[in-house]
A = this chain, B = another copy of it.
Amino acid sequence: MCQDGGMPPRTRRTEALSRERIVEAAVELLDAAGEAGLTFRTLTERLATGAGAIYWHVANKDELLTTATDAVVAQALPAASAGSPQEEIRAVALGLFDAIERHPWLATQLLMQLTRNPGGPVAPRIFEAIGRHIGALGVPERSWFTATSVLVHYILGTAGQTATAEVSTTREAFLDTVASSWEDLDPEAYPFTRRVARQLRNHDDREQFLAGIDLVLAGVTTRHSS
């Protein structure tokens, strides 16, 4: 549980096990084989140790997942650059989008963190990165929370949706499967979904994603700029 407060020793019996080394290995396993690829079995094998050793550094699997998620998100968020609030928000959104593309397991984790663990480190980090620029858009403080929520949920939801497509064999195959199943729906009950299925097939993820952001930003700004 508690880390020592002194220098790290030069060399341990094999190669000092540490919280960071565990988290790093966890991220690698998640990247390689998704959420199911991270078990204490695979983790102990990769680190050539036992379960007890890991549990000395990490409380449980949930904490490990939270820490791994936070580490990846921290790296993904861009350092503050000096642009318009819209540009800043777009940069954050793209940073998360790309991170989810690199680590497809991230999408689910982020949604979980946001809904089930808003007190943890991940939710505030993302909330802050977006919300920081909301005031500069002319949104009155009373609406800051709502406006930021809309943006964050859209970003994570959509990025997650498109990123999941990457995991399966190829993106095209996945989108094609979904589009086909949508086109096979009952025409009476699903006229809209069937019609939109075509847009799903040839669909530039990144472009659509940014279009959605702009749409939300338009709503956020026009609402209060009169």
Contact = CB atoms under 8 A, between A and B. Distances in A.
Could you say which of A135, A181, A192 has the most chain B C-beta atoms within 10 Å of its C-beta?
A192
Interface stretch (A13-21, A61-69, A89-97, A156-164): A156-164
A98 to B, nearest CB: 17
23 contacts: A108-B116, A111-B111, A114-B161, A115-B157, A115-B161, A124-B185, A127-B192, A132-B191, A132-B192, A134-B192, A141-B195, A144-B195, A144-B199, A145-B196, A145-B208, A148-B192, A148-B196, A153-B153, A154-B157, A156-B157, A218-B223, A219-B220, A222-B222
Number of copies of chain A assembled together: 2
Contacts of A199: 142, 144-145
A188 B222 CA distance: 30
A37 interface: no
B223 A215 contact: yes
Q: State the majority secondary structure of interface residues on A.
A: helix
A148 B184 CA distance: 20
A144 B219 contact: no
A220 B114 CA distance: 25
The 9 closest A-B pairs by CB, nearest first: A219-B219, A153-B157, A131-B192, A119-B181, A218-B219, A115-B160, A145-B199, A128-B193, A124-B193
Interface string A148-174: 111011101110110010000000000
Chain A, interface residues (CB within 8 Å), range: 35 or more
Interface of A: 107-108, 111-112, 114-116, 118-119, 124, 127-128, 131-132, 134-135, 141-150, 152-154, 156-158, 160-161, 164, 177-178, 181-182, 185, 189-193, 195-196, 199-200, 203, 208, 211-212, 215-220, 222-223
Contact of A178 (B119, B153, B160, B200): B119
A192 B128 contact: yes
Contacts of A112: 108
A127 to B, nearest CB: 5
Contacts of A218: 218-219, 222-223
